[in-house]
A and B are shown apart, each in its own frame.
Chain A
């Protein structure tokens, strides 16, 4: 089954404790992206990747890191999480970053930083 998987689905942590949210897709997509979703703000892009070893900042990259060592995986790293990073996070993938790019979303990771 074609899908984007994220782990964990739920995470409660404390300020400053490094964490990684994993994302994996089995559709051989070149393009992958991370978003955060907050009430009233919609989906905001954190980082995206056009292909292996190619990553770039989205609209809200501060406090986040990513890596793309393999085509299928695109982990999101919070080196020192803070309470304002409490949010619902989505990973997405697509065939390319070109026109009419449909993005396939994972189920989401709900993160709470105390």
Chain B
């Protein structure tokens, strides 16, 4: 069974601080997606990274896919209370008829004003 470990599990920081969330696996993924989930809602896709070493930026969020396509990181600069939520990584594995998404265990981020 493929496993995607996220760290840290919980993170509580002050507004303006920087943070990094990690997503690690022993499996190789064809792509890696990051979702954010807010209370009472379903996850919403933030970004997809496809190429080993790829870096994508979304305003203050920077996503990186590891060179070997087994891991990824999400870095938030100058966090805002609006960044609060559950961050989920999801690795895509090629499965023939359909690709499969394996979700990480999640990182719960709280940004205090």
Evaluate contact between A97 and B31: CB separation under 8 angstroms. Answer: no
- For the complex, is B66 an interface residue (Cβ under 8 Å from A)? no
Least CB distance from B20 to A in Å reads 19
Total chain A interface residues with beta-carbon distance under 8 A:
25
Asked if A112 is at the interface of the complex by the 8 Å CB criterion, the answer is: no
Q: Is the CB of A98 within 8 A of B105?
A: no
Across the interface, name the chain B residue whose C-beta is closest to A103.
B101
The number of residue pairs between A and B whose CB atoms lie closer than 8 Å in the complex comes to 60
Bitwise, A35-54 to B at CB < 8 A (1) or not (0) is 10000111111001010000
With A99-B94, A102-B48 as contacts: A42 and B88 at CB distance below 8 Å: yes
Please tell me the size bucket of the interface on B: 20 to 34
Q: Is the CB of B103 within 8 A of A100?
A: no
A21, CB-defined interface residue at 8 Å:
no
- Closest residue on chain A to residue B5 by CB atoms: A42
B11 in contact (CB, < 8 A): no
Which of A45, A48, A97, A105 contacts B43, CB < 8 Å?
Answer: A105
Across the interface, A107 reaches (CB within 8 A) one of B31, B40, B97, B105, namely B40
A106-B42 in contact (CB<8A): yes
- Some 26 contacts from A to B, beta carbons below 8 A apart, are A31-B98, A40-B9, A41-B105, A42-B4, A42-B88, A42-B105, A43-B88, A43-B103, A45-B100, A59-B1, A90-B42, A97-B97, A97-B98, A99-B92, A99-B99, A100-B50, A100-B92, A101-B92, A101-B101, A102-B33, A103-B101, A105-B41, A105-B42, A105-B43, A105-B44, A107-B41
User: Which 9 interchain pairs have the tightest Cβ spacing?
Assistant: A105-B42, A97-B98, A43-B103, A42-B103, A42-B105, A102-B45, A105-B43, A90-B42, A100-B31
